């Protein structure tokens, strides 16, 4: 693939393997899944083929570049598999990095094998982009805490087996008063409901009615949970861009193939400058997005901290580019692309959400702007 010529041979092999698995193995499993429900056979297949173990390694930290390659490759072949892998990593990584040994040993092997499903429970009805405004309370109760409140728009809820939950332990302290916990679904007082959103994977609301969590379930230290969340998001944010790049590449290839075959007024669409130049622009933007993503991920793996500006640029440009790429591809195809079951109809539904979650595009622009002006002070 010319677009991956900057990668090493091993990296190219990884992304190609992810593509092949997505198309040939995981895609058929995804088709058997029920929209809005966790596809457990799909998650198990990701574990059986060692992909989840790469995201949740038994030793050491995850690689941002490797995560990006996996997500781009899977997104090209099977967006449902890509999302299942990403959500497992997002929910499990705080447990991997910050849990007590007994909690880590109880969950990480099962999550890496695809035997259990994790979720990252951060957002609330009044705390989306402003995660420091969390209101779900964690009140001290003996040697533990009682969780009371609501989580909203949580991927894999309410069916996940374990939730990484962020709760308010010190009022009025903003980001400095949040603590993270690993909360099993079967904990007394946990309930939830699925939400009907434009999404093929489950998203729901969670209610915590005085849920007791022991001190051993705490991830990290009291009032240091925001750091746990940011460590996870710093790793995963560039890979949201990789997900977008994978979808954009699939849309571009579909449009190029269609334009080369489809004739109008006696000649292929590819011979119309209005079509060819649009696709040339899309190809350029997709490759630029890919390089921004890989730059941010490589910086993270090299130990550069913070990487917030590079990650924000990567996520912003890649997700906005993917939306444009899918839109252009649909325009090239015409009405057939809007038929239920068409690749581009599927991508059109999938591509919208990444511009919102893990920091909306507007938030990414704010991060970039703050970093720009920080350098002038």
Tens digit of pLDDT for each residue in 193-241?
999 888 778 999 999 999 999 999 999 999 999 999 999 998 999 999 9
36 pLDDT higher than 70: yes
**pTM greater than 0.85 (yes/no):** yes
CATH 2.40.110.10 region(s) of the chain?
Answer: 119-223
pLDDT recorded at residue 377: 59
- What are 261-274's pLDDT values in tens digits? 999 999 999 999 99
Fold of the domain built from segment(s) 119-223? Butyryl-CoA Dehydrogenase, subunit A; domain 2 (2.40.110)
Q: What is the mean pLDDT of residues 11-17?
A: 96
5 pLDDT higher than 90: no
- What are 126-166's pLDDT values in tens digits? 887 777 789 999 999 999 999 999 999 999 999 999 999 99
Question: For the chain, what percent of residues have pLDDT higher than 90?
Answer: 88
The number of C-alpha atoms within 13 Å of 136 and in the hemisphere containing its C-beta is 32
- What are 78-124's pLDDT values in tens digits? 999 999 999 999 999 999 999 999 999 999 999 999 999 999 999 99
CATH 1.20.140.10 region(s) of the chain?
Answer: 227-374
Q: Which residue has the higher pLDDT, 198 or 341?
A: 341
Mean pLDDT of the chain: 95
pLDDT recorded at residue 170: 95
291 pLDDT higher than 80: yes
Q: Looking at domain 227-374, which of 2.60.40.420, 1.10.10.10, 1.10.3720.10, 1.20.140.10 is its CATH number?
A: 1.20.140.10
CATH 1.10.540.10 region(s) of the chain?
Answer: 2-113
Q: What is the mean pLDDT of residues 268-292?
A: 97
Assign 334 a pLDDT band (cuts: 50, 70, 90). very high
C-alpha closest to that of 94 among 114, 109, 108: 108
pLDDT recorded at residue 281: 98
pLDDT recorded at residue 140: 97
358 is known as an active-site residue: yes
**One of 350, 358, 362, 375 is an active-site residue; which one?**
358
pLDDT recorded at residue 129: 74
Fold of the domain built from segment(s) 2-113? Butyryl-Coa Dehydrogenase, subunit A; domain 1 (1.10.540)
């Amino acid at each position: 693939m010319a677009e991956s010529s900057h990668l090493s041979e091993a990296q190219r092999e990884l992304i190609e393997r992810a593509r092949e698995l997505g198309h040939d193995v995981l895609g058929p499993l995804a088709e058997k899944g029920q929209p809005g429900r966790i596809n457990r056979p799909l998650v198990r297949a990701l574990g059986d083929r060692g992909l989840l173990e790469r995201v949740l390694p038994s030793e050491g930290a995850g690689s941002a570049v490797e995560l990006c390659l996996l997500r781009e490759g899977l997104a090209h072949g099977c967006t449902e598999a890509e999302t299942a892998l990403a959500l497992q990593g997002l929910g499990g990584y705080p447990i991997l990095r910050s849990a007590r040994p007994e909690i880590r040993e109880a969950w990480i092997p099962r999550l890496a094998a695809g035997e259990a499903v994790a979720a990252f429970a951060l957002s609330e009805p009044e705390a989306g982009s402003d995660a420091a405004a969390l209101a779900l309370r964690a009140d001290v109760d003996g040697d533990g805490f009682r969780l009371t409140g609501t989580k909203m728009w949580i991927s894999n809820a309410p069916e996940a087996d374990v939730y990484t939950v962020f709760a308010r332990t010190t009022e009025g302290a903003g980001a400095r008063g949040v603590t993270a916990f690993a909360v099993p679904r079967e904990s007394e007082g946990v309930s939830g409901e699925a939400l009907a959103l434009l999404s093929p994977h489950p998203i729901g609301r969670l209610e915590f009615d005085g849920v007791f969590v022991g001190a051993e379930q705490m991830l990290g230290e009291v009032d240091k949970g925001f750091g746990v969340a940011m460590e996870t998001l710093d790793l995963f944010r560039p890979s949201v861009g990789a997900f977008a790049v994978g979808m954009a590449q699939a849309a571009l290839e579909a449009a190029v193939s269609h334009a080369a075959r489809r004739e109008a007024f006696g000649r292929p669409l590819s011979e119309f400058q209005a079509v060819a130049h649009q696709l040339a622009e899309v190809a350029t933007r997709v490759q630029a997005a890919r390089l921004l993503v890989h730059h941010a991920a490589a910086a993270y793996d090299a130990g550069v901290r913070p990487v917030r500006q590079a990650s924000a640029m990567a996520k912003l440009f890649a997700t906005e580019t993917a939306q444009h790429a899918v839109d252009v591809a649909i325009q090239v195809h015409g009405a057939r692309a809007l038929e239920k079951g068409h690749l581009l109809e599927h991508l059109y539904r999938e591509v919208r959400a990444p511009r919102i979650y893990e920091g909306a595009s507007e938030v990414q622009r704010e991060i970039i702007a703050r970093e720009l002006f920080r350098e002038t002070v």
